[in-house]
Amino acid sequence: TDGSKWIKQYTGINAISKKEFSIDVGYERFLGPEIFFHPEFANPDFTQPISEVVDEVIQNCPIDVRRPLYKNIVLSGGSTMFRDFGRRLQRDLKRTVDARLKLSEELSGGRLKPKPIDVQVITHHMQRYAVWFGGSMLASTPEFYQVCHTKKDYEEIGPSICRHNPVFGVMS
């Protein structure tokens, strides 16, 4: 195979010297999104990939809502825009779920055959801006201003005011 197809060349002009420069970028192109699936690449203290995090969150929900949640995993934010991010998350999550179902069947001695779980990761046209859009909608509600700290409060009380959230209570 030809490895050069994975290398992209970028050119630009140095902001200080005003000289043109060129740089070849190879495997570095793939390291950014790979951190979601192998966080230990960036820090050995973090080893849980995003698919396991999503699975753990859903497993901590009431049992009657888990199947609908697995069918409705909606991506949002610019960091989910990497090519095939949704497809890969869906594949990895499906493998995790299927492994759990298989283990459950084995532990029952084959007496219980779990119903397959449909895993769907949804991409959409507002994906890049969905986080901002949601925040914008929240900020446009009258209730939002009842739970905000004002600049005046901050100046009177100081930074410790940030440790109290009217919605969630005191944060430690």
Name the nearest CA neighbour of 86 among 39, 122, 35.
122
Q: pLDDT value at position 12?
A: 94
Lowest mean pLDDT among 53-62, 96-105, 132-141: 132-141
How many helices and strands in the chain, by DSSP H and E? 6, 6
Q: How far apart are CA 91 and CA 121, in angstroms?
A: 9
Q: 60, 43 in Cβ contact below 8 A?
A: no
Q: Name beta bridge partners: 20.
A: 13
What is the band of 172 on the pLDDT scale with cuts at 50, 70, 90? Answer: very low
| Intrachain domains 1-47 and 49-140 with the same fold | no
pLDDT for the residue 167: 67
Options 3.40.718.10, 3.30.420.40, 3.40.50.2300, 3.40.190.10; which CATH number does 49-140 get?
3.30.420.40
Domain residue spans of the chain? 1-47, 49-140, 143-172
> Tokens 């090519």 identify what position?
83
Lowest mean pLDDT among 62-66, 71-75, 137-141, 159-163: 159-163
Give the pLDDT band (50/70/90) at residue 121: very high
Res. 157: pLDDT tops 50:
yes
Which pTM was predicted?
A: 0.73
What is the pLDDT at residue 8? 87
Q: What is the mean pLDDT of residues 113-125?
A: 95
Mean pLDDT of the chain: 90
pLDDT, tens digit, for every residue of 24-80?
Answer: 888 777 788 899 999 998 899 999 999 999 999 999 999 999 999 999 999 999 999
Considering the segment(s) 1-47 as one domain, its CATH architecture is: Alpha-Beta Complex (3.90)
Q: Is the pLDDT of residue 170 over 60?
A: no
Paired sense of beta strands 164-165 and 169-170, if any: antiparallel
